[in-house]
Amino acid sequence: MKRFIKISIVFFFCLLSAYAILSIFLKKEKNYNSAFVDKLSLLKKYKNQKKIILIGGSAIGWGVSAEFIEKQTGIKTINLGHYASFGFMDYQEFIIENMTKEDIVIFSPEWYFYFSPRHFDDATLDDLIKNNIEYGFLINNYKHILRSLYRPLFIPKYFSLNYDKDRVYRYNCFNNNGDIVSHCDKKPTGPKYYQLPDSIISVNQFKDVYSFLNTIVRLK
Amino acid sequence: MLVAGSIERANHLLPQIQKNRIFSYSQAISGSKLILWGLFKKIVIADNLAIIADKYFDAPHSYDSFSLIIGVIAFSFQIYCDFSGYTDIALGSAKLLGFELLSNFKFPYFARDIAEFWRRWHISLSSWFRDYLYIPLGGSQKGKLIATRNTFIIFLVSGFWHGASWNFIIWGFLHAIFFIPYLLLSKNRNNVNTIVASDKNFPSISELTKIFFTFSLVCFAWIFFRAENLNDSIIYVKQLCFDAFNNPSQFLRIGQHFIYPQKNLNILWVFPLLFVEWRFRFNERSLHLSNSRKVNILFYLIISILILNYLLQTLDKEPSGFIYFQF
């Protein structure tokens, strides 16, 4: 009996170790959510410097230009707006640790945070944690690291129908300030630059689709 | 309690309960191997093949002939892996506790004729029907006519045992039709107590042809077993046959069926399954892939990793039950 228990323990140890090693090597390709880890890394990079931090959901990420604010104010500006479903609870300690007393925080929560400030979506946060082991390391959360080691392995990519092929919601979608720029007609300037497909609609083209924008132009 | 099999006989099980049992290391290891292999067949193979089978059986009129062939092959292996996986888990758990249960499956898809298939598929139920229905009715001792009648009766009752539906009756009837020629030609006991290629590594062309023919018949009958009702099974068969004639070029574009939908690639699990079962085929209770201990350990480590992986993938989903729990 003792021998059997010993063998079983050794077998399970080998199984868990082999699985953990495989999950490090068989990584899922980075997706839109992975870009948030890079945004948080930006915050850490400028930890000791006076900065403006934009915090919110994707409305901030897509709609406010930290790059423009930085040019106008001369203060390093970082856009942390990415996905409202992440909520703020999971990583707010990390934000506090990487702030100085001179920092300016511009907080623009999505509408539902007004009645549920602790809101987050389990599945979305789960995707961020499980598929980005770097996130756990960055915010020093060993439980997250463990969860990312014991996630479904990404064996061959053709077995996953959720393969990240979206042209706008993708990993390489933001500039050096963390602004999401994959929807703009101007070329991003940061290292995450990628070629926009010709068929994508630009902000200026909206007036061809939405006639109320033309009305505004006429009024002017 | 085993709700789906093996169906145990009192004279086999009761003496084991009365006897004192002592823990045996080799029994426990062999039981653990059975549990792992059973879990692998159920969680990794059956549940993945179910995705394909469910899709094609839900709307057979929407798909071409080749897709429907993939669908029925997927179901053939799904039901085998589901039920034999369950049996292996039960056998292995019993072994851990010192009990030896009756075997229920002996690699039925390697059968060379339909009679051999029934000696290898759901053995405990087949032998129960043989002992409590076929033999009391006269078996094959009272001439070919009575034997033919008795064969029809046990297959129809076997179909009815699965459910009060025409589908199951026709499934049983088809198996009787497949079986009768062997009975009339006295060839139904040609392959008793032998396994294909018992002294070789590979089957001969003749054996392979027989296996393929038997498997095709079994697959055809599975259509009636799996479809929701008789009408659906007729639609499935009609679409499978007519579309093959109307659009034969689809068989030249086989690769396209695996590009979209990608889930069809799950059918590839059949190949490692067949490879491993071919290696196991001499003894369904002693699952040795190789004579090398290291290879065997590596094999069980790999299937455990795959089991863990699929368990983690399905943590947030409804657990899938065993098909035979409904019968």
CA distances from residue A75 to A72, A147, A177, B193 in whole angstroms, order as listed: 8, 37, 11, 85
Does A153 sit within 8 Å of B28, measured CB to CB? Answer: no
Instruction: For B102, list phi and psi in degrees, rounded to 5.
Output: -70, 145
Query: Contact A40/A80 with Cβ under 8 angstroms?
Result: yes
- Is A163 in CB contact (< 8 Å) with chain B? no
Entry pTM? 0.80
Q: Tokens in use for A193?
A: 């630059």
- B15 class by beta-carbon count within 10 Å (0-12 exposed, 13-18 middle, 19+ buried): exposed
pLDDT at residue B260, rounded to an integer? 60
Does A123 sit within 8 Å of B301, measured CB to CB? Answer: no
Give the distance between the most distant pair of CA atoms in chain B.
66
With cut-offs at 50, 70 and 90, classify the pLDDT of residue A192. Answer: very low
CA distance B48 to B202: 28
Residues of chain A with Cβ-Cβ distance to B309 below 8 Å are 19, 152-153, 155
pLDDT at residue A210, rounded to an integer? 65
CB half-sphere exposure, A211, CA atoms < 13 A:
0
Does B29 sit within 8 Å of A15, measured CB to CB? Answer: no
pLDDT at residue B191, rounded to an integer? 84
Query: Contact B232/B62 with Cβ under 8 angstroms?
Result: no
Instruction: For B271, list phi and psi in degrees, rounded to 5.
Output: -65, -50
CA distances from residue B15 to B1, B18, B100, B275 in whole angstroms, order as listed: 17, 5, 11, 37
Catalytic residue among B12, B162, B175, B257: B162
CA distance A162 to chain B (A): 11
Quick check: helix, strand or coil at residue B201? Answer: coil
Q: Nearest CB to A15: which of B263, B301, B316?
A: B301
CA distance B70 to B109: 16
Q: At A121, which amino acid appears?
A: D
Least confident of A5-19, A196-210, B5-19, B256-270: A196-210
Does B308 sit within 8 Å of A22, measured CB to CB? Answer: no
Residues of chain B with Cβ-Cβ distance to A158 below 8 Å are 262, 265
With cut-offs at 50, 70 and 90, classify the pLDDT of residue A52. Answer: very high
The pLDDT tens digits for A149-158 are 988 887 655 4
Q: Nearest CB to B312: which of A18, A123, A150?
A: A150
Q: Nearest CB to B23: which of A1, A7, A152?
A: A1
- Is A123 in CB contact (< 8 Å) with chain B? yes
Contacts of residue B215, Cβ cutoff 8 Å, sequence gap at least 6? B76, B109
Query: Contact A18/B305 with Cβ under 8 angstroms?
Result: yes
pLDDT at residue A85, rounded to an integer? 92
CA distance A80 to chain B (A): 29
Question: Would the pLDDT of A28 be above 60?
Answer: yes
Place of tokens 């023919």: B213
pLDDT at residue B84, rounded to an integer? 93
Question: Would the pLDDT of A200 be above 60?
Answer: no
pLDDT in tens, chain B (327 residues): 555 667 888 888 888 888 888 889 999 999 999 999 999 999 999 999 998 999 999 999 888 899 999 999 999 999 999 999 999 999 999 999 999 888 899 999 999 999 999 999 999 989 999 999 999 998 888 888 999 999 999 999 999 988 888 999 999 999 999 999 999 998 888 888 788 888 888 999 999 999 999 999 999 999 999 999 999 999 999 999 988 888 888 777 777 777 665 677 888 899 999 999 998 888 877 788 888 889 999 999 999 999 998 888 777 667 677 776 666
Q: Is B162 a catalytic residue?
A: yes
Residue of B nearest to A20 (CA): B305
- B275 class by beta-carbon count within 10 Å (0-12 exposed, 13-18 middle, 19+ buried): exposed
Does B312 sit within 8 Å of A152, measured CB to CB? Answer: yes
With cut-offs at 50, 70 and 90, classify the pLDDT of residue A161. Answer: very low
CA distance B280 to chain A (A): 22
pLDDT at residue A163, rounded to an integer? 45
Residue of A nearest to B26 (CA): A4
Instruction: For A54, list phi and psi in degrees, rounded to 5.
Output: -95, 120
Query: Contact B68/B56 with Cβ under 8 angstroms?
Result: yes
Which position has the higher pLDDT, B21 or A167? B21
CA distance B141 to B27: 40
pLDDT at residue A218, rounded to an integer? 47
Q: Nearest CB to A19: which of B32, B308, B310?
A: B308
Does B309 sit within 8 Å of A15, measured CB to CB? Answer: no
CA distance A126 to B87: 35
Q: Tokens in use for A206?
A: 């909206």
CA distance B98 to chain A (A): 12
Question: Would the pLDDT of A145 be above 90?
Answer: yes
Which position has the higher pLDDT, A202 or B197? B197
Residues of B with CB under 8 A from a CB of A: 23, 25, 28-29, 32, 262-263, 265-266, 300-301, 304-305, 308-310, 312-313, 316
CA distance B124 to chain A (A): 31
CA distance B247 to A162: 32
SS3 labels along chain A? CHHHHHHHHHHHHHHHHHHHHHHHHCCCCCCCCHHHHHHHHHHHHCCCCCEEEEEECHHHHHHCCHHHHHHHHCCEEEECCCCHHHCCCCCHHHHHHCCCCCCEEEEECCHHHHCCCCCCCHHHHHHHHHHCHHHHHHCCCHHHHHHHHCCCCCCCHHHCCCCCCCCCCCCCCECCCCCECCCCCCCCCCCCCCCCCCCCCCHHHHHHHCHHHHHHHHHC
- Listing from the earlier edge strand, what are the strands of the sheet with A51-56? A76-79, A51-56, A104-108
CA distances from residue A79 to A61, A67, A112, B226 in whole angstroms, order as listed: 6, 9, 20, 55
pLDDT at residue A187, rounded to an integer? 52
Q: Nearest CB to A158: which of B32, B265, B309?
A: B265
The whole-number average pLDDT for the span A63-89 is 93
Place of tokens 């692998």: B40
CB half-sphere exposure, A93, CA atoms < 13 A:
6
pLDDT at residue A156, rounded to an integer? 56
The whole-number average pLDDT for the span A155-183 is 68
Chain A to chain B Cβ contacts (< 8 Å): 41
pLDDT at residue A217, rounded to an integer? 47
The whole-number average pLDDT for the span A93-122 is 87
pLDDT at residue B289, rounded to an integer? 83
Query: Contact A56/A111 with Cβ under 8 angstroms?
Result: no
